[in-house]
């Protein structure tokens, strides 16, 4: 009964985190568009464009935002990063320039000048704005990752994109967690892995003939595909978890390198998708 209630509460918390994240993203995007409109209006006054108003500036920024997002998503599918960056710059120039020319009724030369100055100044402002508002969320609340490899099939597949929450730190058997591999060689960059918890802090764990025993009691592992390797009896410390991949025989996990400390755990996935795989791999997050 306690476990079921706890699971429900954790699911509610994860759903709430995801919902609040959505509201936060919409707020940040809207605020960014408004700030961009204010900067564009200020620049238009510097270029002495009498038809410039906050309303027209806001419309131009909305056009740029939507058009830029569509173009960015389309060009991200190109394998040549240099070519996609150049095309993005050229197309963005026209996405900015045409609305300025039409809505501000600006002469051609002033349109060119305002477009270039707007792209540079608003671009810098957006970078600083993103660093100040989005970076703290990525560091302390939620972080994107993408799946590389087959060790968690069929639950997660190659190319799946995950949102990993970092707030809820209470884990139970069967939970999936993302963590940094705690035993990397000195010359190797630390990497993130994704596995499922089968052993909890303070438990005695053993696997024999593909069967998991916790505190000498046979324990079912319905989420795992394949038989567990034999692992001699191990007593987990108060801050250790035993983790394995769902695709057991193809997984590099605690069966090989032993338990992981709680401090190495980044968090647990609250949402995933495999939509626009190449786009997400390129710009979304880290792999594992």
What does the H/E/C string look like for the chain?
Answer: CHHHHHHHHHHHHHHHHHHHHHHHHHHHHHHHHHHHHHHHHHHHHHCCCCCCCHHHHHHHHHHHHHHHHHHHHHHCCCCCHHHHHHHHHHHHHHHHHHHHHHHCCCCHHHHHHHHHHHHHHHHHHHHHHHHHHHHHHHHHCEEEEECCCCCCCCCCCCCCEEEEECCCCCCCCCCEEEEECCCCCCCCCCCEEEEEEEECCCCEEEEECCEEEECCEEECCCCCECCCCCEEEEECCCCEEEEECCEHHHCCCHHHHCCEEHHHEEEEEEEEECCCHHHHHHHCCEEC
Q: What is the pLDDT of residue 275?
A: 43
Calculate what percentage of the chain has a pLDDT beyond 70: 88
Q: Taking residues 17-22, report their average pLDDT.
A: 75
pTM for this entry: 0.69
Looking at the fold, whether 171 and 275 belong to one and the same domain comes out as yes
Q: Is the pLDDT of residue 213 over 90?
A: yes
Q: Rounded mean pLDDT of 225-231?
A: 88
Instruction: Tell me the average pLDDT of the chain.
Output: 84
Number of domains in the chain: 2
Q: How far apart are CA 116 and CA 170, in angstroms?
A: 50
Confidence band of 284 (pLDDT split at 50, 70, 90): very low
Same domain, 233 and 179: yes
Q: Are residues 128 and 153 in the same domain?
A: no
Q: Could you say which of 117, 140, 163 is where a domain stops?
A: 140
Q: Do both 124 and 176 map to the same domain?
A: no
What's the rounded mean pLDDT across residues 240-258? 93
| Amino acid 212: pLDDT | 93
Residue (of 61, 48, 60) closest to 110 by Cα position:
48
Average pLDDT over residues 221-228: 86
Whether 59 contacts 79, CB under 8 Å: no
**Residue 47 structural domain:** 2-140
65 and 154 share one domain: no
Out of 68-72, 85-89, 143-147, 229-233, the most confident range is 229-233
CA 246 – CA 269 distance, rounded (Å): 15
Q: Which of 95, 112, 140 is the last residue of a domain?
A: 140
Mean pLDDT value of segment 252-278: 81
pLDDT of residue 219: 92
On whether both 272 and 224 belong to a single domain, the answer is: yes
Alpha-carbon distance of 160 to 14, in angstroms, equals 19
Q: Quick one: how far is CA 229 from the chain centroid?
A: 32
The strand pairing partners of 144, in sequence order, are: 163
Q: Of 136-150, 170-184, 262-276, which gets the smallest average pLDDT?
A: 262-276
How sure is the predictor about 1, in pLDDT bands with cuts at 50, 70 and 90? low
Residue at which a domain ends, from 140, 174, 207: 140
Whether residue 116 is found in the same domain as residue 180: no
Q: What is the mean pLDDT of residues 12-23?
A: 74
């Amino acid at each position: 009964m306690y476990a079921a209630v706890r699971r429900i509460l954790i699911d509610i918390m994860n759903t709430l985190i995801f919902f609040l994240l959505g509201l936060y993203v919409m707020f940040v995007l809207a605020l960014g568009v408004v700030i961009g409109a204010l900067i564009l209006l200020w620049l238009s006054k510097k270029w002495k464009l009498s038809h410039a108003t906050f309303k027209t500036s806001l419309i131009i920024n909305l056009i740029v935002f939507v058009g830029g997002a569509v173009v960015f998503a389309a060009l991200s599918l190109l394998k040549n990063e240099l070519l996609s960056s150049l095309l993005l710059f050229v197309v963005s120039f026209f996405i900015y320039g045409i609305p300025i020319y039409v809505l501000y009724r600006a002469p051609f030369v002033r349109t060119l000048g305002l477009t270039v100055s707007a792209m540079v100044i608003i671009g810098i402002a957006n970078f600083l704005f993103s660093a100040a508002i989005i970076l703290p969320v990525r560091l302390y609340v939620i972080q994107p990752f993408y799946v590389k490899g087959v060790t968690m099939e069929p639950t997660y597949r190659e190319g799946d994109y995950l949102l990993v929450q970092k707030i809820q730190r209470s884990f139970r058997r069967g939970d999936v967690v993302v963590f940094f591999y705690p035993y990397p060689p000195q010359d190797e960059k630390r990497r993130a892995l994704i596995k499922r918890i089968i052993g909890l802090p303070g438990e005695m764990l053993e696997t024999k003939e593909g069967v998991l025993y916790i505190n000498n009691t046979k324990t079912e592992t319905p989420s795992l595909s394949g038989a567990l390797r034999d692992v001699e009896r191990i007593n987990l410390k108060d801050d250790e978890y035993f983790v394995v991949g769902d695709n057991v025989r193809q997984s590099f996990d605690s069966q090989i390198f032993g338990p992981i400390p709680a401090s190495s755990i980044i968090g647990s996935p609250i949402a995933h998708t495999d939509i626009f795989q190449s786009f997400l791999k390129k710009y979304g997050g880290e792999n594992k």
